[in-house]
Amino acid sequence: MTFPIHKFVIGTIVAALSIGTLTLHAVAPKKNKKAEAAPIAKADYPQTDILLPPTSLLDYPTAGELNRLESPMKRITTDFSPREISHVGVKDAERFKEGPTEIIDLSQIQEGDYAFPLPGAKVISPYGGRRKYHSGYDLKTKPNDTIVAAFDGVVRMAKPYAAYGNVVVIRHYNGLETVYSHNSKNLVRPGDLVKAGDPIALTGRTGRATTAHLHFEVRINGTHFNPNYVFNFTRRTLKKECLICRNKGNHVTVKPVRALPRYLLNEKNREGNAK
């Protein structure tokens, strides 16, 4: 039987707090025996398992592992299955093959190796929202405007798909996938190799759309996440952040980290040199 570490941590914290309280009791003058005998309010402490705050800095990968994880080029599957060429949210057999964490360091993507998907566009609807969850960013310029690939990659899907209308999905060598939807026309086909900035479709209002626009999504292993972790939609530039992606089985959590790991890595190296 394994003993969950977080139980141990909570136990230790509770024990430490209890000792602290007991010490205070010992020092405090004994006035009322009844009050002293009153048990420490155990109800104030967690009695059952509770989630501890994220410990991303504590369980950070080791230096060697980090170098491999943050490489801008990752292995991707390109011999697409029938499922991969016909559905938007599908997994990539190469993702999370070596562990539950993958790091995508956007700061390692060079100028020219990315492109804003709809040049000159303004945001008409961001990701998320309280009432009906929005899985991407809506970008608008004019009808039949040229949509371009955000990064180098391979077209995985290009077809009409329910509310998406004409949709293009590209699998990128950086481990991400991007989705371009409501197109009046798709200009690419599954298996096509594209470079960042290559035209892939024209803006339209196919599927569920009330105006001609681009519905743009960013996904990893089938899970969409906030595209503003990747692009600054005001400046239309790539963010220089590191995405810490954790596989949770049926979905992936993505956390952007500003300066990264580099800095942790340097710190580790310094410790190593000091010895």
Which residue's Cβ lies closest to Zn ion? 215
In angstroms, give the least distance from the CB of 199 to Zn ion: 21
- The residue (of 172 and 215) whose beta carbon lies closer to Zn ion is 215
Q: Say what the alpha-carbon torsion angle 217, 211, 147, 133 is, to the nearest 10 degrees.
A: 0
Measured from the CB atom, the residue of 138 and 177 that comes closer to Zn ion is 138
Piece of the chain touching Zn ion by CB under 5 A; list 44-52, 144-152, 208-216, 226-234: 208-216
Q: Which is nearer to Zn ion, 206 or 247 (CB)?
A: 206
Instruction: Evaluate whether 180 touches 134 at the Cβ level (below 8 Å).
Output: no
Size of the site for Zn ion (CB under 5 A): 2
Half-sphere exposure of 19 (CA within 13 A, CB side): 5
Closest approach of Zn ion to the CB of residue 92, in Å: 23
Q: With respect to Zn ion, which residue has the nearer C-beta, 60 or 231?
A: 231
Report in angstroms how near the CB of residue 250 gets to Zn ion at its nearest. Answer: 23
Nearer CB in complex with Zn ion: 203/247: 203
Give the nearest distance from C-beta 216 to Zn ion in angstroms: 8
d(CA 188, CA 22): 71
Q: Residue 243 phi/psi, 5° resolution? A: -100, 120
Least Å distance, CB 167 to Zn ion, is: 11
Task: Give me the least distance between CB of 214 and Zn ion, in Å please.
Answer: 8
Least Å distance, CB 179 to Zn ion, is 10
Beta strands at 223-225 and 199-202: parallel, antiparallel or unpaired:
unpaired
Q: Does 172 bind Zn ion (CB under 5 A)?
A: no
- What CA–CA distances, in Å, run from 90 to 30, 77, 86, 93, 168? 67, 12, 9, 10, 14
Q: Which residues from 122-151 bind Zn ion, rule CB under 5 A?
A: 138
* Segment interacting with Zn ion (CB under 5 A) among 25-33, 212-220, 233-241, 265-273: 212-220
Q: Length of the chain in residues, anyone? A: 275
What is the DSSP track for 105-159? EGGGSPTTSB--SSTT-EEEE-SB-SSS-B-SEEEES-TTPEEE-SBSEEEEEEE
Q: Which of 215, 219, 224, 239 binds Zn ion (CB under 5 A)?
A: 215
Question: Measured between alpha carbons, how far is residue 13 from residues 8, 21, 35, 175 in Å?
Answer: 9, 12, 24, 39
> Nearer Cβ to Zn ion, position 66 or 201?
201
State which residue, 95 or 182, has the beta carbon closest to Zn ion. 182
Task: Please state, in angstroms and rounded to a whole number, the distance separating the CA atoms of residues 246 and 184.
Answer: 35
Return the SS3 of 67: helix
- The binding site for Zn ion (CB under 5 A) comprises 138, 215
